[in-house]
Chain A
């Protein structure tokens, strides 16, 4: 049954600090609102948790979902760089609305558009300066997350906001499937489920037992994919007509298109860094984040 968010009035009864709510978006189990809390505007997220009693699988899924929300909030709480979205004033709270279980919490409200919206709106191709700024923002986010033992696992155009601010051009969102190298894995039945978005899966995520060796180079791959797709307005591997299996097969076996072929106006050095991050083997993706950030800032 598709997820139908509860009425705004019922939500406000459970979260009385919220004065006004406007639905912005909804997914399989989650709704995102623009919320007025006191004098501040925040993004309020309401996640529906499946009923406990249905079956063992649903119970496991329920535990996973609760765990993911907790982890996302915990991870966001630890991060302090402006390149990652910050938590808002409402802490993660378990509530029951109309007989359903939910967790609600808030994040800062960001004025801007996600890169996917921009890509699908027929935008002009971004300049190299902007692409470098995007890449640096993503690398700084990855560095911050890894410093706390997290791999984002879902970096993609939809999860990156472009803001109008010069000091804060791009912000990474949605740590909903972040992986913690210091905690027990949350995914139930991991052998049969791909957790991340298949168009943005690093090849190593498709190997058996990948969790044992997962590290931030998986995020480097998806960050480069995001930069590539935003810059070239074309996915480096997937074709629109591809189904999931074809896309996964391309990610495993087909070399990515060279960025310079699609954007010959970009410098060879910049294209080289993006292309190198799209290598199938993690060891072939340069991993020294400080060096990468300074290269991206200096050779422009």
Chain B
């Protein structure tokens, strides 16, 4: 399973360092956070490093309804990427012709650049699959391959499927939606799947059994029907989605690059403190603060991954890593989880994922100190329940048997 850097603001040397260390398989660029000339230069540099690295571009069209708000944090989107992104109202996108034109523009923009695959634009399905937005979204999905075929380009094209977590609560609607998108007259090569939390800080929005099960079901169903699935902002869920059938996941360096939410684009009171550096423990399947790591490394040594990037958390310096490359550790840890849990044999992979969560539960039980609220084990039960629910929805043998 592939792991991509989910690009964002303040990239610095993070991606270069990750490539040098071989901990990522490519990059999904964020136009909001990079000026067009810089993007072109970065693409060229990435392609010259290795053609094997995936070079993808998330057109971030789902932010379109926010662009009419002058306070929206759209970064470079409206100026440098006006070729395909202009403010639109929902009513305009109810017209098929507008959808076709916007698709064509966003695809053309990417076709002209050296990306390894093309991600089509789409809007977010905000609350329910029984909504105007869902109809518009299906229209974008249906038209993706047809519009792309006009360019006679051989690269894979991915339809974007961006769904708010609230829309995933009604499983029957989700299943009907999947019934429709898995039977397209002109199917794309794959899907770029985004599940939106109400806020990137809301951990329980995504670490919820229903949401995990639904996200896994989307991966499983799309894969069964021959589509490649790239999950954006999938963070630690990446191997679980891989066990369900996903082909790739993405995560970046800020909290808002590890969980997808439109609040990244919405007007916001600025300020706030820099987050405390964290260490992603594969054993805990969670990030703990560097000072928690410092306290635990002798008490519960299993929390250490034993990977190269552990050296960034030097015990002699109180385990505090350099802030600008903290993400290297995350990428290496998620990559390690991917390698150890995802082999392509679904039942075995699901069993391995379940065992890994059970081991995490055990390890947490041996931790003698009080952990920060984000470091605790609240994510584990939803993971186990989510897997069980997924297996039921996917009509597959339970991995707990």
Residues of A within 8 A of B (CB): 213, 215, 217, 255, 276, 279-288, 291
Contacts and interface: CB of A to CB of B under 8 A. Distances in A.
B221 A283 contact: yes
Interface stretch (B48-56, B173-181, B264-272, B366-374): B173-181
Nearest to A215: B183
B225 interface: yes
B226 A288 contact: yes
A283 B226 contact: no
B13 interface: no
Given A281-B175, A283-B221, A283-B224, 11 more contacts: A255-B395, A279-B395, A281-B395, A284-B221, A284-B394, A284-B395, A285-B224, A286-B224, A287-B182, A287-B225, A288-B226
A281, A283, A288: residue with the most chain B Cβ atoms closer than 10 Å: A283
Interface string B94-132: 000000000000000000000000000000000000000
Nearest to B184: A287
A26 B253 CA distance: 72
Given A215-B183, A217-B183, A288-B226, A280 B395 contact: yes
19 contacts: A213-B176, A213-B179, A217-B183, A279-B395, A280-B395, A281-B179, A282-B179, A283-B175, A283-B179, A283-B182, A283-B224, A284-B220, A285-B224, A286-B225, A287-B183, A287-B225, A287-B226, A288-B225, A291-B226
For chain B, give the interface size range.
10 to 19
B395 A283 contact: no
A164 to B, nearest CB: 35
B176 A284 contact: no
Contacts of B221: 283-284
A276 B226 CA distance: 14
Contacts of A255: 395
A285 B224 CA distance: 7
7 closest residue pairs by CB, A with B: A283-B178, A288-B226, A283-B179, A283-B182, A279-B395, A283-B221, A286-B224
Nearest to B393: A281
A287 B187 CA distance: 11
Interface in B137-186: 175-176, 178-180, 182-183
Nearest to B218: A283
B379 to A, nearest CB: 27
A77 B147 CA distance: 34
A6 B187 CA distance: 52
Interface in B187-213: 187
A276 B224 contact: yes
Nearest to B221: A283
Contacts of A287: 182-183, 225-226
Contacts of A284: 220-221, 224, 394-395
Interface centre among A279, A280, A281 (most CB of B within 10 A): A281
Contacts of B224: 276, 283-286
Contacts of A217: 183
A76 to B, nearest CB: 24
A283 B227 CA distance: 12
Contacts of A291: 226
Contacts of B182: 283, 287
Interface string B215-238: 000001100111000000000000
Contacts of A283: 175, 178-179, 182, 221, 224-225
B223 to A, nearest CB: 9
Nearest to B179: A283
Contacts of A285: 224
Contacts of B179: 213, 281-283
A213 B179 CA distance: 9
A284 B395 CA distance: 8
Interface string B223-263: 01110000000000000000000000000000000000000
Given A215-B183, A255-B395, A280-B395, A286 B175 contact: no
A38 B224 CA distance: 51
Between B178, B183, B394, the greatest number of chain A beta carbons within 10 A of the residue's beta carbon is seen for B183
A283 B176 CA distance: 8
A171 B220 CA distance: 33
Contacts of A280: 395
Contacts of A276: 224
Nearest to A288: B226
B47 to A, nearest CB: 31
Contacts of B178: 281, 283
B358 to A, nearest CB: 25
B327 to A, nearest CB: 36
B178 to A, nearest CB: 4
Nearest to B395: A279
Contacts of A213: 176, 179-180
A102 to B, nearest CB: 39
Nearest to A256: B395
Interface string B376-401: 00000000000000000011000000
B147 to A, nearest CB: 21
B28 to A, nearest CB: 26
Contacts of A279: 395
B134 to A, nearest CB: 15
B161 to A, nearest CB: 13
Contacts of B187: 288
B177 to A, nearest CB: 9
A203 B394 CA distance: 15
A217 B180 CA distance: 11
A215 B184 CA distance: 11
A114 to B, nearest CB: 30
Nearest to A217: B183
Nearest to B225: A287
B8 to A, nearest CB: 33
Contacts of B225: 283, 286-288
Nearest to A272: B346
